[in-house]
Structure 1
Amino acid sequence: MDSNFMVSRYKILGELGRGGMGVVYKAHDTRLDRMVALKILEKCKSGKDIKRFIHEVRALSQLHHPNIIRIYEYGETPTPFFTMEIVQGENLSDFFKTNPGLSPKEIAEIVEKVTEAICEVHKRKIIHRDIKPSNIMLTANKQPKLMDFGLAKSDLHNDQLSVTGEILGSVSYMSPEQARGKAELRSDIYSLGATLYQGLTGQKVFSSESTYEAIYNIFNEAPKRPREINPQIPMELENICIKCLEKKLENRYQTAFELLRDLRNFRNDRRVKAKRSESASLKTLFSYTQKIVLLLAISLCVVLWFQNRSQQREMENHKKLSKTTINDLEDKFKNLNKLKVDELQKKLQNVGQKQIQKLKEEISVKDRQLIKLQEQIMNFKLSRNKLINDLHQLARSRRKEEKKYDDAIKIYNIAENYSNDPNIPFGRGVTYLVKAINDDKNINFLNKAVENFKIAVEKAKHKSIDEAKRKQTLADVYSNLGVCYSLMGDERRCLEAFEFCFQYGEPKQSHYCNRAIAYHFWLRQDKKTAIEDLEKANRLPKTKKDPHNKFLINTLIKKFKDKEPVTKQYIFNYYPVIFN
């Protein structure tokens, strides 16, 4: 918007900042002759955005506190807008960056004043839902001013502004329950803790490359304790910070006033109530699902022992197991297949078909779907097998449809935390193979592909699964392993891989195509034998798991027969479509 443009009686002087819904301008109130901050709803927004904009005005109009931005006026002509006090200063995020030498007590004092403001907000039964350093302005005399109530929500009423599970707020400062779309008053306490953490350490609670990785960390990872980053931070203040960041609501401060009292006590060298949390000192927290599964498994061990006294040794192992730490339990969990847990498996799979179908319909390529899957893990709504399958399909979609290879690899890494399914390293290996093909046969990616395929082979050989499925998995793995060795120029290993491929399971179109291209054509320059394999692929019956790509294959056969030049790049362009 140009300078000197008029909105009602306000003359626009320049832009101060912009967010998801609106733009904030510096403006001059020509009637009262004062400077104001004017927020305008940007261009064509939805009805829901307009409601949120008006909701922000209403929330601010209820609040009167020295550490909360004051609202002046609301108008709708020529576009929805409101004016508020203008703060001459910088936001807290920039202040932390430009003042790295702040003492812990100075940082605590700033957060204390913001907490005072939140006490007033919560008194009105309003949840801010977007507390973060960039939403806190600092005046010249270091007085914080909390602003941006665009996501604020009444805790007493359904304001119809968010759908169930909708993620609203900034992920880096978001509590687990808010990440699941279920924010409440204590969610703001988590965000205050994340703000305090950044001030003390100069870092965010979790550093993540993507939204779904950040959400995974929020659900599963414990934050590094501030004193590990800066040993000069007082233990009492660290304990206050970590208590705010507890994943379980009941372990967090229950009210903003409790947090305020501890911050004041710390600044005045009085005793604080926050103590060191054992759970927060763990590097990785168990997902709720694993805890439940372990509890059921341990209980089942006891029952089996009483059924058969001869299993005295297993009972002794159980006694030892019950005394180990959570990390030890996680290791033991991987070997639970050695126990007779058929009944446990039935319980895990006892999930309503309607719920499973609903999840199938909901899965899409959006980051939010992975978050919902994580929620299913934590709430134990789906069996592990069903969950792993959905994660696998999501990763496959990222790889094949969106070409987001790094995203697919990270999803496979998440799935591997909950299962020894050989298809997980196999899928990850295929992803690295496609990355290598798209990066001029990158040797590092090829080595990672081979490494993952070998892991898949070992897991398939030792995992107790259906024999036919096991053989088919091995055939698929060796087929892709053959392609890897071909790209590496290793003819002997390439041939061995394809020999193993055709020893296992029923031959698939992709197996013949891979051997035709990777072995006969690339390594041996034998177009005649390559054509024979491609024709075998075309003669195979079409199945859902092995759909035909006759047009592309026949085009390749024609090029071979007509002796047209066929480059590796031509094959690379079609490899992800035909052969994987």
Structure 2
Amino acid sequence: MLARRFQLHAVIGRGAGTTVYRASRVGGAGTVAVKVLDADTPPPGILARLRDEARITAALSDIPTFVRAEPPARLAGRWVVILELVPGNTAYSLLRHGPFPLAAAAELVGDVAAALAAAWDHPGPGGPIRLLHRDLKPGNLQVTPDGRVRILDLGIASAALPDRESGTGAIEIGTLGYLAPERRRGHSAPEGDVFALGVVLGVLVTAVFPTRTPSRPAAPDHALMALAAEMQAEAPADRPMMAEVARRARALAGDLPGPDLATWARKYVRDHEAVDARCGEVWSEDAWCTRLLARFRLPREPARG
């Protein structure tokens, strides 16, 4: 069997210990995203999480909001993950234009909440999948040029799959500023994702990023911020369930001022905004594309804890 080869075009993202390239298959059709692990020999737990991410996305293949991922592979001496290439920009990068219009922010959060509610109850090989994302933030939500939202990065997600390899439920892991109080004590449940999505909603509406330590939301001045405040309630039992968040956010999207997400996206979203110069090299044993990243003029999101 011939080894797979990819033409690397540009760096389109960078995460904790990874660099993501836009690439095309040499001798094949279509473009993909190639996530490259920076470490030559990553810890076994990292590879286990990446294999779990591929299992989860395969189990959720009929919920199009989630981005597809292949299991990690060894190519050109490096560990990589081949991902579905989703056009558009992250909500994080789009905040350079200022706060989202209220209707667009409500629609985005409603769509994310609906996908997460569906994934919680989605049937799997051993029963409902019970997906918990556990790292919801603007940088993990992609807006396409036609105004759809896609959920990225299930690398630390929790799911009830019988062949799951990694276990992260008993430790604090995620992005500081978006972690619910109980998550900081090592407890993961759907209410933690509701809290994080409430922080995301506040960021979209205000363009103000959270500090590393969660703080009580400001007094709401309209119905959408009131929903965000409820989602960030101190006690998990006081937060709405994800399905209710979806219902309420979508209802508000039809009543709030401003363009809808599709109209706004046509103005601001670009089809893959490279954060680096074009690469133009074929990835093989002797050619590897590395560049310095251009910096966004945005506050840096807190790193995962």
Q: What is the TM-score when the length of structure 1 is the normalising length?
A: 0.39
Extract unaligned runs of 5+ from structure 1.
Answer: 1-5, 209-213, 228-233, 271-370, 372-580
Deviation at 1:163, TM superposition (A): 6.9
Q: Is the 8 A contact 2:102 2:253 kept in 1?
A: no
Q: Taking CA–CA contacts closer than 8 Å with sequence separation of 6 or more, which of the two structures ends up with the larger relative contact order?
A: 2
Distance apart, 1:45 and its partner CA: 1.1
1:88 corresponds to 2:92: no
Deviation at 1:88, TM superposition (A): 2.6
Aligned to 1:41: 37
* Distance in 2 of aligned mates of 1:7 and 1:23: 21
C-alpha spacing 1:264/1:14, structure 2 compared with 1 (3 Å): closer
Asked if 2 retains the 8 angstrom alpha-carbon contact of 1:155 and 1:184, the reply is: no
Aligned to 2:211: 207
CA contact (8 A) 2:158 2:169 kept: no
2:113 and 2:27 map into 1 onto residues whose CA distance is 35
CA distance change for structure 1 residues 163 and 54 in 2, over 3 Å: closer, same or farther? same
- Closer/same/farther in 2, CA of residues 40 and 58 from structure 1, 3 Å limit: farther
Asked whether the equivalents of residues 9 and 29 of structure 1 are also in contact (C-alpha less than 8 Å), the reply is yes
**Distance verdict in 2 for CA 1:7–1:104, change over 3 Å:** farther
Task: Tell me the CA shift for residue 249 of structure 1.
Answer: 0.8
- Find the counterpart in structure 2 of residue 50 from structure 1: 47
Q: 1:28 aligns with which of 24, 41, 60?
A: 24
Q: Which has the higher helix share?
A: 1
Partner in structure 2 of residue 162 of structure 1? 168
* Structure 1: distance between partners of 2:134 and 2:71: 22
Match of 1:176 in 2: 181
Counterpart in 2 of 1:251? 238
- The separation in 1 between residues aligned to 2:144 and 2:91, in whole angstroms, is 10
Please state how far the C-alpha of 1:89 moved relative to its aligned partner. 1.9
Q: Let me know the Cα RMSD of the aligned residues.
A: 2.6
Q: Is the 8 A contact 1:21 1:49 kept in 2?
A: no
Corresponding residue for 2:104?
106
1:40 alignment partner, SS class: strand
Could you report, residue by residue, the CA deviation over 1:503-541 in whole angstroms, capped at 9, with x for unpaired residues?
A: xxxxxxxxxxxxxxxxxxxxxxxxxxxxxxxxxxxxxxx
Q: Which has the higher strand share?
A: 2
**In the alignment, which residue of structure 1 is the partner of 2:146?**
141
Distance change (3 Å), C-alpha of 1:131 and 1:7 = farther
What secondary structure, in the 3-state scheme, does the structure 2 residue paired with 1:195 have? helix
Determine the structure 2 residue equivalent to 1:10. 6
Amino acid at match of 2:190: L
The AA in structure 2 aligned to 1:225 is: A
| 8 Å CA contact 2:50, 2:71 repeated in 1 | no
1:190 alignment partner AA: F
What is the deviation of 1:195? 0.6
Aligned to 1:509: none
The answer on 1:263 being equivalent to 2:259 is no
Conservation of the 8 A alpha-carbon contact between 1:107 and 1:200: yes
Alpha-carbon offset, residue 13 of structure 1? 2.5
Q: Equivalent residue of 1:171, what SS? A: coil
> For the Cα contact (< 8 Å) 2:7–2:25, is it kept in 1?
yes
Q: Distance in 2 between matches of 1:246 and 1:159?
A: 33
CA distance in 1, matches of 2:254, 2:13: 37
Runs of 5+ in structure 2 lacking a partner?
122-128, 257-304
Q: Could you say if the C-alpha distance between residues 106 and 76 of structure 1 is closer, same or farther in structure 2, counting changes exceeding 3 Å?
A: closer
Q: Measure, in 2, the Cα distance between the counterparts of 1:152 and 1:261.
A: 24
Q: CA deviation at 1:258?
A: 1.2
Letter in 2 for 1:128: H
1:148-196 deviation line (CA, Å, top 9, x unaligned) = 11111125778543273x2211011111111112111221111111110
Structure 2 distance, partners of 1:243, 1:223, is 9
The one-letter code matched in structure 1 to 2:187 is K
How far apart, CA to CA, are the structure 2 residues paired with 1:53 and 1:155? 16
Q: In structure 2, the residue corresponding to 1:33 is in which secondary structure?
A: coil
> Is 1:116 the counterpart of 2:117 in the alignment?
no
- Any idea what SS the aligned residue of 1:154 has? coil
The one-letter amino acid paired with 2:219 is: R
The SS at the match of 1:173 is coil
Q: What SS is found at the alignment partner of 2:116?
A: helix
Whole-angstrom distance in 2 between the partners of 1:155 and 1:182 = 16
Equivalent runs, 1:213-228 vs 2, <5 Å: 214=213, 218=214, 221-227=215-221
The answer as to whether partners of 2:98 and 2:207 remain within 8 angstroms in 1 is: no
Superposition TM-score, scaled by structure 2 size: 0.72
**Whole-angstrom CA distance in 1 between matches of 2:72 and 2:225:** 45
Structure-2 change in CA distance of 1:66 and 1:167 (3 Å): same
Give the AA of the match of 2:35.
K
When residues 156 and 207 of structure 1 are mapped into structure 2, their CA distance, relative to the original with a 3 A threshold, is same
Q: 2:57 aligns with which of 60, 67, 71?
A: 60
Judging changes above 3 Å, is the alpha-carbon distance between structure 1 residues 96 and 183 closer, same or farther for their aligned structure 2 residues? same
Runs of 4+ in 1 over 4 A off after TM superposition: 155-160
1:265 maps to amino acid: A
Secondary structure at the residue paired with 1:153? Answer: coil
**Equivalent pair of 2:156/2:168 in contact (CA under 8 Å):** no
Q: Alpha carbons of 1:19 and 1:35: their partners in 2 closer, same or farther (altered >3 Å)?
A: same
Between the two proteins, what is the percent identity of the paired residues?
23
Deviation of residue 32 (structure 1)? 3.3
Q: Secondary structure at the match of 2:182?
A: helix
Kindly tell me: are residues 21 and 121 of structure 1, through their superposed partners in 2, closer, same or farther at Cα, counting changes over 3 Å? farther
Q: Which amino acid in the other structure matches residue 207 of structure 1?
A: T
